[in-house]
Amino acid sequence: MREAIWFRSDLRILDNPAVFSACHGDEPPLAIFFVCHETWKSHDWAPIKVDFIWRNLECLQQDLAEKGIELQVQLVPKFSQVPGALRSFCRENKIARVHINAEYALDEKRRDAATNAVLSNDDIELVSHHGNLLVSPGEVRTQQGDYYKKFTPFNRRWRQVLSEKTYSEPLQIKSYSRVTAKGLPECPLGRKDSSDWSAGEQQVLGKLGQFVGHSVDDYQQARDLPAENGTSQLSAYLAQGVIGPQTAVRALHKFSPEFPFGLASGADTWLTELAWREFYQHLMYFVPRLSKGESFQSETDSIQWLEDDDAFQRWCDGRTGYPIVDAGMRQLTSTGWMHNRLRMITANFLVKDLLVDWRKGEAFFMQHLIDGSFPANNGGWQWSASVGTDAVPYFRVFNPVKQSEKFDPDGQYIRKWVEELKEVPTKYIHWPHSWLQQQSSNNYCDPMVEHKFARERFLTTFKQVKNG
């Protein structure tokens, strides 16, 4: 009975239960990856993300070939065509069982359910694992048996469940006779160069070791300073499964014999970030309407957002007149990545200062982020817009100038990304307009909105919904 691995957002061998479970017989399994380019496009996948996936697929195909496993990559435009394509693949290769790692957004769940139905007609088993999460949906429940709607109690229970698991030994697979990697088809989508992010499983394992060995102790403080390289830089690899959360967590074990308790502040804060990642995936699983562009707090879907295309475009272009916002947006469109603190600041500004629908910002981020993960991006935007679970209270409106002063005190990050402000003295860098007016040349844009006015406008609008 031959087995197969259907790769999706799990482009790795190490700590991949789908791969591990398929590699127990004498005959090597086959592997398949479907490039659903029309669905990817409709899901707003960024060109730099597509390029990153392509490069990691090339590495994975080579790594698997060395283990004796052939990875085929097929172009199948839409999710709806996958069930038939996988059935044909199984028939051609006499596959009796296909292993996958579950995905939790609605379209992915529907694709997998349809695939399971089609394969079962041929007596082919679709075996689902939870290799994309440390704790699968349903393992973390309230005392009433419900899913958690708030992060803090989820995190507490999630850690308790985590403490009952063991990740001391990685899931290694047996090797078969080496095969030749056939190469990938031509990519049907536009790609943006992602070479600033190294590709392949071995590269990311080195990044993990570097971060845990040298940077995690300072993570709690450094992660909020965009001018410093204080984050793990692993988000894109986690999003595509080039590294598994099990591998990431195993690297933290050595810091505490009571793991996941007893960690120092830096390691504990990073573990909390991994918990946030899982929390949003659990929500996707339990609340399908989040996949339909709806708010978790359903009453907030009646908010009257401003239809201001010019304001939205200025935000996209980094021409708001607020230096810290503009720096973040220019970093995003230039590099395909943005520091997490800036993701919060720019999102808060779009929704609460400009009163633009958060869904427009959510889509724009996905169209540009190399680490675009639908559950995490959706959760972050709903949090910033005060419409989601665990949302920042609606009356808490970030003051972008104060955020700038606090997290980029010397203006180093601003000067890197906003060319027009390179010569502005630090005293004026966070609000440079009065200084710039005295200069002979000034090509920086005026502020597009007055924050105090915008704040009151948002609060009035939101109160009408909350009190309505």
Task: Indicate if 227 and 255 belong to the same structural domain.
Answer: yes
Instruction: Give the residue carrying structure tokens 């996948």.
Output: 45
Instruction: Please give the distance of CA 184 from its chain centroid, rounded to a whole number.
Output: 25
350 is in an annotated binding site: no
Going by C-alpha positions, the residue among 128, 118, 35 that lies closest to residue 74 is 35
197 is in an annotated binding site: no
Indicate whether 75 belongs to any domain.
yes
Q: What CA–CA distance (Å, rounded) separates 240 from 8?
A: 8
Indicate whether 230 belongs to any domain.
yes
Q: What CA–CA distance (Å, rounded) separates 156 from 152?
A: 6
| Residue 251's CATH number | 1.25.40.80
First to last CA, the chain: 61
Per-residue pLDDT, 468: 62
Per-residue pLDDT, 171: 77
Per-residue pLDDT, 152: 95
pLDDT tens across the length of the chain (468 residues): 799 999 999 999 999 999 999 998 899 999 999 999 999 999 999 999 999 999 999 999 999 999 999 999 999 999 999 999 999 999 999 999 999 999 999 999 999 999 999 999 999 999 999 999 999 999 999 999 999 999 999 999 999 999 998 777 887 788 899 999 999 999 999 999 999 999 999 999 999 999 999 999 999 988 999 999 889 999 999 999 999 999 999 999 889 989 999 999 999 999 999 999 999 999 999 999 999 999 999 999 999 999 999 999 999 999 999 999 999 999 999 999 999 999 999 999 999 999 999 999 999 999 999 999 999 999 999 999 999 987 777 788 999 999 999 999 999 999 999 999 999 999 999 999 999 999 877 899 999 999 999 999 999 999 888 776
Task: Confirm if 148 and 142 have CB atoms less than 8 A apart.
Answer: yes
275 is in an annotated binding site: yes
**Bridge partners (DSSP) listed for residue 261:** none
45 is in an annotated binding site: no
Q: What CA–CA distance (Å, rounded) separates 123 from 117?
A: 10
Task: Indicate if 272 and 328 belong to the same structural domain.
Answer: no
Indicate whether 96 belongs to any domain.
yes
Domain boundary among 111, 132, 153: 132
Indicate whether 180 belongs to any domain.
no
As for how many domains the chain has, the answer is 3
Q: What CA–CA distance (Å, rounded) separates 421 from 46?
A: 29
Domain that holds residue 274: 135-168+201-286
Task: Confirm if 242 and 208 have CB atoms less than 8 A apart.
Answer: no
Indicate whether 188 belongs to any domain.
no
Indicate whether 154 belongs to any domain.
yes
Q: How far is CA 379 from CA 136, 280, 338, 391, in A?
A: 18, 6, 16, 9
444 is in an annotated binding site: no
Indicate whether 452 belongs to any domain.
yes
Q: What CA–CA distance (Å, rounded) separates 453 from 128?
A: 52
Instruction: Please give the distance of CA 206 from its chain centroid, rounded to a whole number.
Output: 20
Which residues are marked as active site?
A: 273, 276, 305, 340, 358, 381
Going by C-alpha positions, the residue among 1, 189, 203, 187 that lies closest to residue 99 is 1
pTM here is: 0.96
Task: Supply φ then ψ for residue 303, to 5 degrees.
Answer: -60, 135
Per-residue pLDDT, 335: 97
273 is in an annotated binding site: yes
Task: Indicate if 342 and 382 belong to the same structural domain.
Answer: yes
Going by C-alpha positions, the residue among 196, 297, 314, 215 that lies closest to residue 264 is 215
Task: Indicate if 87 and 234 belong to the same structural domain.
Answer: no
236 is in an annotated binding site: no
Per-residue pLDDT, 151: 95
Indicate whether 182 belongs to any domain.
no
How is residue 148 annotated by DSSP? P
Task: Indicate if 93 and 152 belong to the same structural domain.
Answer: no
